[in-house]
């Protein structure tokens, strides 16, 4: 029992150590995102080293684990921030990526113009070429506030996490974690 208590205490201290300290400056947006050196060349046509388990079909995870397929970086910088997103085709041919972001991660403001604290709200990034994305400048929360200033309690301004969007008969429906 004492061993279990020590492990629980160790995990608790580990969790507390991961929280940002009050008064600390915000982390840079690239924190925890190592730079990758990716050649700016066309992506080569991939041929599996061995026949796929299902000839004529896309590779599977089994193909990947068994060395018959591998991942490549097609677009080194899409301009999407790190975070939870849901991307779907829009009626105008664009891709719309509903992204959960904050002032710290992407310069997001609420519909009243105030910076949005971490963890943030839902903003839309759009792509016309299917490879790179752009947003309003600055990105603005998509869910309107009931009044200005926006509040977390009333407007969920910092709780709109893990957005999922579906289209049904011309209407878009979004759910998010609160």
| Residue 126 banded pLDDT, cuts 50, 70, 90 | very high
- pTM, whole model, 2 decimals? 0.57
pLDDT at position 110 is 93
In a domain, 171, yes or no: yes
Residues with Cβ within 8 Å of residue 28, at least 6 apart in sequence:
none
Whether residue 140 is predicted with pLDDT greater than 90 in this model: the reply is yes
In a domain, 116, yes or no: yes
| Out of 44-58, 61-75, 161-175, least confident range | 44-58
Question: How many domains does one find in the chain?
Answer: 1
In a domain, 16, yes or no: no
In a domain, 129, yes or no: yes
In a domain, 47, yes or no: no
Structural domain harbouring 149: 86-178
Kindly state the average pLDDT of the residues 67-81. 83
pLDDT at position 109 is 94
In a domain, 34, yes or no: no
């Amino acid at each position: 029992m004492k061993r279990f208590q020590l492990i629980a205490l160790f995990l608790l201290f580990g969790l507390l150590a991961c929280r940002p300290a009050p008064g600390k400056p915000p982390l840079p947006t690239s924190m925890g995102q190592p730079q990758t050196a990716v050649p700016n060349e066309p992506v080569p046509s991939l041929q599996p080293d061995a026949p796929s388990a299902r000839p004529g079909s896309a590779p599977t995870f089994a193909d990947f684990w068994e060395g018959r397929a591998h991942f490549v970086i097609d677009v080194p910088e899409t301009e999407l921030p790190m975070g939870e997103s849901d991307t779907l085709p829009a009626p105008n041919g664009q891709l719309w990526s509903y992204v959960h972001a904050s002032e710290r991660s992407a310069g997001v403001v609420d519909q009243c113009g105030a910076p949005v604290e971490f963890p943030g709200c839902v903003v839309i990034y759009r792509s016309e070429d299917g490879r790179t994305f752009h947003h309003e400048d600055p990105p603005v929360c998509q869910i309107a506030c009931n009044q200005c200033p926006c509040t977390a309690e009333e407007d969920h301004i910092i709780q709109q996490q893990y957005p999922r969007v579906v289209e049904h008969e011309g209407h878009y429906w979004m759910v998010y974690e609160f």
